[in-house]
Structure 1
Amino acid sequence: MADGTVRIDGNSLRLAGGVQVRFIRTLRLPETGTHPLPPGLGEFPLRRVEDYPETVPAEWLARGGVMLPVYLREAMWLSFGGTSEPAALQVGVGKVCAVSGKPWSPRPARKPQNYVVLPRQPWLDGINSGKGTVRQFVAVPLGLGATVEGQVTGEEVWGGVQLQSFPLNDTALHAWREEQRRLAEAAEQRRRSAEAAGYGAAMPMAPGSAPQWGAPAPAPAGGAPRAAAAMGLGVGGSMRQEVYKDDRPLSDWATTAAGRVFVHLVTPPEWRRITGEAPPASPVDRAAYTRAGLPWFDYYDQDAADLDPTDTLGDVKPVGDWLGDDHTPWQPPSPQQVKPLGDAPGKPVVDGEW
């Protein structure tokens, strides 16, 4: 997608340059202590805003983008993939950078770094609020001051999630491709040497499965657009996750975004009213999940440097300070449950003014 478009592929967003982003439902962590990475419990469905002109608010149509349904105080994480070439991806929560805590910027920046580097960063579960840790993304309504946007800027205007991707510039991309070509040639030479020594040929890779292309359902008939219950992201519990420092010069990145998209967060009742579809079931009880012995995760990349947190995001308070204590039972996973991890497009999404 060299034209700067964003498309929905099933429940994935495809930004120009091959960047893929999925929004993953997960278990909400307690707001005290530091925890392993919680599991993925399925993807949030995505729909294009422009496909529901009769039922979405007018300001959503002006901003364009996509929408997804989320319950009050439900947690999510962002899964990244789809690209073999390096990309810089900005992630905003209410137009506050989830990595740097600074206001939304039209281009990559350093001091502090305001993007994650793909494909090295496999996911992002929350804001970069501590050394080697993040605070979990948790959905809350606008107007309480509980969102990251409200706490950092003093206002709650935007809500939602904002994404913007940048490829390498032409010079840096050519150099990277040449380096990959040299590495591939060296690997092929080693393989031939091994075959000549009698170690046998490499096993062929299994063919990949065809992608499943999703199409949004038609908008329900009748009804006029009205204001929807606006949602944004606050923070919940802390977990062990590194946000990796970019080891490239800032000048290697393009200064114009290859793709950007505004992601609106919709309450389940509003999702049903706007789309005519049933929202996903309510979040899984986390204690029941843990009692069943299902896995949690721990990810570590020994070759990557962790990005230092900023004071701005480190001072963000959890949503419980606004919504009250979390009374859902909590049962921590046993050490045996923590698993180590490591070492054809649909219609384009319309972008608007935001």
Structure 2
Amino acid sequence: MTDTAVRIDGNTLRLPGGVAVRFVRTLRLPETGTHPLPPGLGEFPVRRVSDFPDTVPAAWRARGGVMLPVYLREAMWLSFAGTARPAALQVGVGKVCAVSGEPWSDRLSQRPQNYLVLPRQPWLDGINSGKGTVRQFVAVPLGLGATVEGQVTGEEVWGGVQLQSFQLSEEALAEYHRQERLRRERLGRERMRSRRSAGSFGAALPMAAAAPGAAPAAMGLGVGGSMRQEVYEDDRPLRDWAETPAGRVFVHLVTPPQWQRITGEAPPPSPVDRAAYTRAGLPWYDYYDQDARDLAPTDTLEAVKPVGDWLGDDLEPWQQPSPGQVVPLKDAAGEPVEDGDW
């Protein structure tokens, strides 16, 4: 019997197929210009909704899943790991696909592609809104129209983040095992390096179905600044993937005061000042995979406006990192080595 449970291990969500997802705090980018990848500044704490039946809203109990605390206009990125073999992962923001801009679906699609391929995609910092770029995930309250959900659908009903994993079909999995030794370098053993980073499986999460018309979550995701990051195109035919998801989970975004009322825990401290981070000489990042092809953005996501259009100008100071502060990852060119006479 296949285990379809999503489990929580510390602050990591583990979906069937070996997919591990962490929610990482980061520096919020300015809403103008295009920037390198910001650093990881620790994980968001993640708790099961079912552990707090007396203090969470009834609609959240119906949806199940997990919750995490996030400040107004705080930025985050999603880190992916743990996949020993290829998996497909759908990421929704308010039930709008962060890759295609299409409505949430229980099926994979390639026209347009509505999923990420792991382990090739090591992280996702925002919606796929430009050629070789994404616009950063930034938390905003529902009701203003600033979320991706509000701008794409005209309504703010769901909020939060939705994750759904798919495994290879039986035929594709058999082929993968036959070629695993040859494919390992290209697909199976890519590792995140000094960026951005932090066993056993934890408690299983209830997979309750979403309740239509239920009260919305407190927060959703809008977008902030643009950064250089590719969303990779799947090089497999769609038939290589299972037709139904292996697991899914709803992630509720909670304001810090609400977090403390529900869990009794103090929320994390407010986000780090980005200018102070850069002045200290700490690193920013660049990531490039020369063997992968960037997925073109859709008109829907290109049209999404930053949260500053609703909340006002971003007044947090900004200091441009020096070239030496931007650390290349994966297929970095490296430093040339001179040759001479032998």
TM-score, L = length of structure 1:
0.84
Residue 304 (structure 1) aligned to one of 292, 300, 322: 292
- Give the corresponding residue for 2:258: 270
Contact 1:300 1:341 in 2 (8 A): yes
Query: Counterparts of 1:322 and 1:163 in 2: how far apart (Å)?
Result: 27
Find runs of 4+ consecutive structure 1 residues off by over 3 angstroms: 181-184, 211-216
Identity %: 80
- Cα distance in 1 for partners of 2:201, 2:160 equals 24
Could you say which structure has the larger radius of gyration? 1
- 1:302-330, Cα deviation, whole Å (9 max, x unpaired): 00000000000000000000000011110
Partner residue of 1:98?
98
Q: Aligned residue for 2:114?
A: 114
Q: Which amino acid aligns with 1:167?
A: Q
Measure the CA separation in 2 of the matches of 1:183 and 1:16.
21
Who is 1:197 aligned against?
none
User: 1:72-221 maps to which residues of 2 (within 5 A)?
Assistant: 72-181=72-181, 211=199
Q: Deviations over 1:184-216 (max 9, x none)?
A: 8xxxxxxxxxxxxxxxxxxxxxxxxxx477789
How many Å separate the matches in 2 of 1:258 and 1:298?
32
What do the CA deviations read for 1:142-170 (whole angstroms, capped 9, x no partner)? 00000000000000000000000001000
Distance 2:203 2:183 in 1: 40
The one-letter amino acid paired with 2:230 is E
Match in the other structure for 1:293:
281
1:320 aligns with 2:308: yes
Q: Does residue 322 of structure 2 align to residue 339 of structure 1? A: no
- For residues 242 and 103 of structure 1, the distance between their equivalents in structure 2, rounded to whole angstroms, comes to 21
Q: Residues 240 and 183 (structure 1 numbering): CA distance in 2 closer, same or farther, change over 3 Å?
A: closer
Corresponding residue SS for 1:339 = strand
**Cα-to-partner distance string for 1:236-255 (whole Å, 9 max, x where unaligned):** 00000000000000110001
Q: How many residues align?
A: 307
Contact 1:57 1:228 in 2 (8 A): no
TM-score, structure 2 normalization? 0.87
The answer to whether 1:16 aligns with 2:16 is yes
Letter in structure 2 aligned against 1:137: F
User: Structure 1, residues 92-118: CA drift from partner, whole Å, max 9, x if none?
Assistant: 000000000000010110111000000
What corresponds to 1:32 in structure 2?
32
Give 1:2 shift.
3.3
SS of the residue 1:108 aligns to: coil
The Cα RMSD (Å) is 1.6
Contact map agreement 1:161 1:264 (CA 8 A) in 2: yes
Please say if residues 163 and 262 of structure 1, whose CA atoms lie closer than 8 Å, have aligned partners that are also in contact.
yes
